Amino acid sequence: MLRKLLVMAVVAFMAIGFSLDAQAEGTVKIGAIYLLSGAFSTYGQFAKNGIELAADEINSSGGILGKKIEFVLEDSTGKANVGIQAARKLVYQENVDLLMGLDSSGVAKGLVPVVPELKKPFIITHAASPDVTGSLCNKYVFRISLNIAQNTKAAALIAKELGVKKWTTIGPDYDFGHQSWEFFGNYLKELDPEVVLSADPSFPKFKAEDFTPFINKVISDKPEGVFISLWGGDLINFIRQANNLGFFKQNFKVLMSLGAATEVLTALGDQMPEGIWVGTRYWFAANDTPTNNNFVAAYKKRFGDYPSYNSQGAYAAVYAYKTAIEKAKSFEPDKIIAALENLTVDTPSGELLIRAEDHQAVVNGNWGITKADKNYPIRILDPIRIFPGKDITPTPQESGCNMQ
Amino acid sequence: MRKKIQLGVLLLLAVVLVLLPKVSPFFIVFVATEILILGLFATSFNLMFGYCGLLSFGHGAFFGTGAYVAGLLLQHLQWDFIWVLAVAPLAAAVGATLIGWLCVRLNEVYFSMLTLAFGMMVFAIAHQWRSVTGGSDGLAGFPLTEVGIGLDIVLANPFHFYYLTLLIVALSLAAIYLLTISPFGLILRAMRENTERVAFAGIPANRYRLYGFILSGLFSGLAGALFATFSRVAVPEMSHWTQSAEPILMTILGGSQYFFGPLAGAAVFLGLKTLITSYTSEWMIYLGVILLGMVLFLPKGIFGLLERWLGGRT
């Protein structure tokens, strides 16, 4: 009997769940898709913090054109097909007006071609595959975060200044790692035709635990510069093991394209070597603007930490939507899309321009040299190098976008 | 009497499935499509597990092969979809012939381990062969073609795709069902009970297992091809062991001893998943607890429970 009741309860619960249609009048609903489970779920959590903060700020100061923001999160689990189904659910079941999100390039590449069917604007805040605003670009998809091309262009500019010629890489063995090395190598060759790129670069498995063989190989290869595109937990493990093997005391320069992510610096504390060039999509101390100072202070007060780039990206996307809707004076998807094109948005990472041609934001790249500072619990960047978006963003022709 | 109830339930289910898009919220059409496709995958898996008694941990290999072949054909050759659906399962069947030829000689855990290894080999190929498979990002953005043979179906239209899937899955399930009640199906079931006695009766056991494995791979490939078209991507995860584990879970949930068990399991699994993700981002733990409870308290699956309710065997 009890079991019968239990089953009935589950069935009833499902029926109610599916018929719930919580679209209150006077709200604008944002659907966000991030990595919320598994080893990299902190990225989803950071993004959630950013959206929450932006939504609360906007709601407490009158909303967007008088409408309050409501948001729903869905888990991409890092799989393209799951991300696509999540987007369909957000649009058709949750009736969201706006979409945002995406941590993984793989999910982004799968989902972007499907967005035109959903007919809602989509702002990407993290996934870095150049194709998303290149060969796969379409009317509905925008990106306000730094992509692989922009970040590796900045890295190549630094590499040129460092003046060393013989480069190799250590990167995760999936498309992001391979593409990062290809782009970095191509840009560097353009800047300095004399550089020699290793024919045998190191690509440890993504989420590998043991990087020792790769560290030893690079040390014995004696390159002059090492470009590292490992990120997140991989980068943390790598740096700990590299410290033990004396990797950072060798006679070569090191560039880490995502080494200044705050979660990496926080996890490593004083194990993060000093004097290394590291990049990030956003650095909390890079801009002394009211927007950034307010954001950092509010974030720190609420979550007790310095904001990571994923929090900033999500926060900026919500404000980009606000700016676009106010410019369009409408919640119609097509009008919002038109307003997003050529829109300048004031974000904590500086002013960015969303290009009309390929919908990629011309956004600053942040690099710097790691340094200990007793006022901070983590290594900070000093000096900070900000690469203006216009210097590192490929032209729409180069990005290969054919907007329709 | 029992036959009549079964027939009645089946007819009712058919009516519900046909009318579903007319009455349900729009998104349910997507969930139902996914359930049908993965239900077909689980049913073809169960041809090995429930009927042959061999637990394959590598069926993602055939699902993935079907998905990639479909993706590649759509991307590079833009064949009419009907031909894609014909060729992709054949490719999976070829893969199943090669892998099965080596695996069916083994029993129990050794069979499971070997299929797991081959499954992960297919995953590694999909993940590493960047120039063909697109590496970790997989194949994305391939165009959807005409269905062909004069059918006026638009694949991008979710209703059209749902009905097409319903038709293909129904035909496939009918074919698999006919197989299971045929003399061939009886030999498979006999081998599940006692392979040695079947061999003593003069039946080449391994060869029959291989036939079963190939058919199972063929329909898994068909499910994969449908799934890639439905998802608009073919990604390495589709051949990963976690993908191979899904039909196992679905089959156990629904009841491996019942023909429609895997399909029912797929419905419960995906229904719960879709529902729980709406409420919490920690959906995995809730889903895990619910599934654990169902496996512990419903050892014969949902169908076992239903049968007890309807006063059949106890």
Residue A8 clears pLDDT 80, i.e. is over it: no
Alpha carbon of A163 to those of A156, A271, B4, B46, B164: distances in Å? 11, 27, 83, 62, 61
Alpha carbon of A232 to those of A221, A238, A264, B90: distances in Å? 26, 10, 6, 41
- pLDDT score recorded for residue A22: 45
Q: Where are the alpha helices (DSSP H) in A112-191?
A: 115-118, 148-162, 175-191
Instruction: Quote the CA–CA distance of B7 and B62 in Å, as a whole number.
Output: 32
Tell me which residues of chain A, numbers 339 to 378, contact chain B at a CB-CB cutoff of 8 Å.
Answer: none
Question: Per the CB < 8 Å rule, is A81 touching B238?
Answer: yes
Tens digit of pLDDT for each residue in A129-176? 999 999 899 999 999 999 999 999 999 999 999 999 999 999 998 889
- pLDDT score recorded for residue A14: 53
Question: Per the CB < 8 Å rule, is A113 touching B137?
Answer: no
- pLDDT score recorded for residue A25: 65
Mean of the pLDDT values across residues A112-123? 93
Q: Is A141 on the interface with B (CB under 8 A)?
A: no
This prediction's pTM: 0.85
Question: Per the CB < 8 Å rule, is B30 touching A88?
Answer: yes
Instruction: Quote the CA–CA distance of A85 and A68 in Å, as a whole number.
Output: 26
Radius of gyration of chain A (CA): 22
Mean of the pLDDT values across residues A7-29? 58
Residues of A in contact with B274 (CB under 8 A): 89
Q: Is the dihedral of CA A47, A50, A53, A56 positive or negative?
A: negative
For residue B176, name the pLDDT band (cuts at 50, 70, 90): very high
Q: Is A148 on the interface with B (CB under 8 A)?
A: no
Helices and strands counted in chain B (H then E): 13, 2
- pLDDT score recorded for residue A13: 52
Distance between B87 CA and the closest CA of chain A, angstroms: 22
The structure tokens 């899955």 sit at B169
Work out the percent of chain A whose per-residue pLDDT is above 70.
94
Question: Per the CB < 8 Å rule, is A75 touching B281?
Answer: yes
For residue A10, name the pLDDT band (cuts at 50, 70, 90): low
Residue B74 clears pLDDT 60, i.e. is over it: yes
* Amino acid in position A292: N
Residue B153 clears pLDDT 70, i.e. is over it: yes
Work out the burial of residue B178: count CB atoms within 10 Å of its CB; fewer than 13 is exposed, 13-18 middle, 19 or more buried: exposed
- pLDDT score recorded for residue B44: 96
Q: Where are the alpha helices (DSSP H) in A304-395?
A: 309-328, 333-340, 389-392
Question: Per the CB < 8 Å rule, is A84 touching B26?
Answer: no
Radius of gyration of chain B (CA): 19
Q: Is B131 on the interface with A (CB under 8 A)?
A: no
Work out the burial of residue B75: count CB atoms within 10 Å of its CB; fewer than 13 is exposed, 13-18 middle, 19 or more buried: middle
Give the nearest partner residue to A17 out of B30, B237, B278, using CB atoms: B278
Residues of A in contact with B284 (CB under 8 A): 37
Beta strands in A241-338 (DSSP E): 253-256, 277-280
Residue B138 clears pLDDT 80, i.e. is over it: yes
Instruction: Quote the CA–CA distance of A270 and A256 in Å, as a whole number.
Output: 17
- pLDDT score recorded for residue A403: 84
Beta strands in B171-281 (DSSP E): 233-234
- pLDDT score recorded for residue A3: 55
- pLDDT score recorded for residue B2: 67
Residues contacting A115, CB < 8 A, separation 6+: A87, A99, A122, A138, A140, A141
Could you give phi then psi for residue A225, rounded to 5 degrees? -145, 145
Question: Per the CB < 8 Å rule, is A85 touching B34?
Answer: yes
For residue A12, name the pLDDT band (cuts at 50, 70, 90): low
Phi/psi class of residue A355: alpha, beta or left (left: φ > 0; alpha: ψ in -120 to 50)? beta
Q: Is the dihedral of CA B158, B163, B165, B166 positive or negative?
A: positive
Q: Mutating which of A4, A8, A18, A52 best tests the B interface, going by the most B Cβ atoms within 10 A?
A: A18
DSSP state of A135: T
For residue B190, name the pLDDT band (cuts at 50, 70, 90): very high
- Residue A67: strand pairing partners: A64
Mean of the pLDDT values across residues B237-251? 93
Q: Is B75 on the interface with A (CB under 8 A)?
A: no
Mean of the pLDDT values across residues B248-264? 91
Q: Mutating which of A4, A76, A85, A131 best tests the B interface, going by the most B Cβ atoms within 10 A?
A: A85
**Adjacency order of strands within the sheet including A68-75:** A68-75, A27-34, A98-101, A122-124, A141-143
Question: Per the CB < 8 Å rule, is B30 touching A37?
Answer: no
Closest chain B residue to A203 measured between Cα atoms? B128
Q: Is B227 on the interface with A (CB under 8 A)?
A: yes
Residue A201 clears pLDDT 60, i.e. is over it: yes
Residue A378 clears pLDDT 70, i.e. is over it: yes
Mean of the pLDDT values across residues A88-114? 92
Closest chain A residue to B272 measured between Cα atoms? A14
Closest chain B residue to A116 measured between Cα atoms? B156
Residues of B in contact with A75 (CB under 8 A): 277, 281, 283
Q: Where are the alpha helices (DSSP H) in A69-172?
A: 80-92, 105-111, 115-118, 148-162
Tens digit of pLDDT for each residue in A339-360? 999 999 999 999 999 999 999 9
Question: Per the CB < 8 Å rule, is A80 touching B283?
Answer: no
Question: Per the CB < 8 Å rule, is B140 touching A110?
Answer: yes
**How far apart, in Å, do the first and last CA atoms of chain A sit?**
60
Tell me which residues of chain A, numbers 90 to 129, contact chain B at a CB-CB cutoff of 8 Å.
Answer: 92-94, 105-106, 109-110, 112-114, 117, 129
For chain A, domains (ranges, CATH) are 10-146+287-363 (3.40.50.2300), 149-280+366-392 (3.40.50.2300)
Mean of the pLDDT values across residues A265-291? 92
Q: Which tokens is A156 given?
A: 């190549």
Length of chain A: 404
Give the nearest partner residue to A84 out of B231, B284, B309, using CB atoms: B231
Residue B33 clears pLDDT 90, i.e. is over it: yes
Least confident of A333-337, A374-378, B7-11: B7-11
Residues contacting B28, CB < 8 A, separation 6+: A18, B20
- pLDDT score recorded for residue B135: 85
Work out the percent of chain B whose per-residue pLDDT is above 70.
98
Instruction: Quote the CA–CA distance of B218 and B38 in Å, as a whole number.
Output: 14
Beta strands in B128-261 (DSSP E): 139-140, 233-234
Least confident of A181-185, A255-259, B67-71, B305-309: B305-309
* Cis preceding-peptide flag for A273 (omega within 30 of 0): no
**How far apart, in Å, do the first and last CA atoms of chain B sit?**
16
- pLDDT score recorded for residue A4: 55
Q: Is B297 on the interface with A (CB under 8 A)?
A: yes
Instruction: Quote the CA–CA distance of B32 and B23 in Å, as a whole number.
Output: 13
CA torsion A112-A115-A121-A126 (nearest 10°) is: -30
Average pLDDT, chain B: 90
DSSP state of B311: T
Mean of the pLDDT values across residues B197-205? 89
Instruction: Quote the CA–CA distance of A84 and A38 in Å, as a whole number.
Output: 18
Question: Per the CB < 8 Å rule, is A36 touching B281?
Answer: yes
Work out the burial of residue B63: count CB atoms within 10 Å of its CB; fewer than 13 is exposed, 13-18 middle, 19 or more buried: buried
Instruction: Quote the CA–CA distance of B225 and A271 in Å, as a whole number.
Output: 49
Least confident of A15-19, A305-309, A367-371, B289-293: A15-19
